[in-house]
Structure 1
Amino acid sequence: MSTSRRCCRPGCGKPAVATLTYSQSKFRATLRELAPENNPHAWDLCVDHASRIGAPVGWTLIDPCGFSRKTRRRNVESLTALAEAVREKGRLTTGLVAEPPAPAGPVPPPAGPGGTHPSQMRRRPGRRRHLHLVADTGADPER
């Protein structure tokens, strides 16, 4: 038995511990301990990939070694511990961020309209607009 076999998943160089085979006639995927010989129709998987493997829709996954059950139980325990740690951490303040100081006096009201947009600009004294009204000087209404 060769112990130098590696996980067949791309980018994973971890040692293989399980072999996955498919039986297409029975719609069954079987995950067993590492086969003694390398089989071109089987996939060697590391612990991480063996624990996360699933069967195609409508197929049955047979896992007599319990790779997926062990990891699921371990994952549930890890997630529970993580949730409790986060919950506990949320109850404590670290003191790293100081509270903003309260204003010393009354807060001034917001400024009135202003800005650089033409609709917000205030009319400047002495500035004339382009168009303006001209008073009627008594022109004859009959004309």
Structure 2
Amino acid sequence: MLDRPCTKVGCSREAVSTLTYDYGDSMAVVGPLSLAREPHTYDLCSFHAERMSVPQGWQVVRHQVLNNS
């Protein structure tokens, strides 16, 4: 476990996803928690990752890890 907190103000939950914005393409990308903290990205807990919204006209891309069990 990487033990990083959610970056949303006032949230103390553990981060499970990383959010990246691509302003040029009007896109927000939510994927698995990155291995290292990166500038211009946001670590989110599952609550905030699922409820994230973007401006009208933007799209959200969600990358998920699939288990082969």
With the shorter chain as reference, the TM-score category is 0.7 to 0.9
Match in the other structure for 2:41:
42
> Structure 1: 5+ residue runs without aligned partners?
67-143
Q: Distance in 2 between matches of 1:10 and 1:25?
A: 26
Match in the other structure for 1:4:
3
Q: Distance in 2 between matches of 1:13 and 1:7?
A: 6
Q: Which structure's residues are more often strand, by fraction?
A: 2
Per the TM alignment, residue 34 of structure 1 is displaced from its structure 2 partner at its CA by 0.2
Per the TM alignment, residue 4 of structure 1 is displaced from its structure 2 partner at its CA by 1.9
Per the TM alignment, residue 64 of structure 1 is displaced from its structure 2 partner at its CA by 2.2
> Structure 2: 5+ residue runs without aligned partners?
none
Q: Distance in 2 between matches of 1:35 and 1:26?
A: 21
**TM-score where L is the length of structure 1:** 0.43
Considering only aligned residues, what root-mean-square deviation do their CA atoms show, in Å?
A: 1.6
2:29 aligned with 1:26: no
Equivalenced residues, count: 65
Per the TM alignment, residue 52 of structure 1 is displaced from its structure 2 partner at its CA by 0.3
**What pairs with 1:81-96 in structure 2 (closer than 5 Å)?**
none
* Segments ≥4 residues shifted beyond 3 Å: none
> Could you say which structure has the larger radius of gyration?
1
Same amino acid, percent of matched pairs: 35
Asked which structure has the greater RCO (Cα within 8 Å, sep 6+), the reply is 2
Match in the other structure for 2:59:
60
Q: Which structure's residues are more often helix, by fraction?
A: 1
Q: Distance in 1 between matches of 2:31 and 2:54?
A: 14
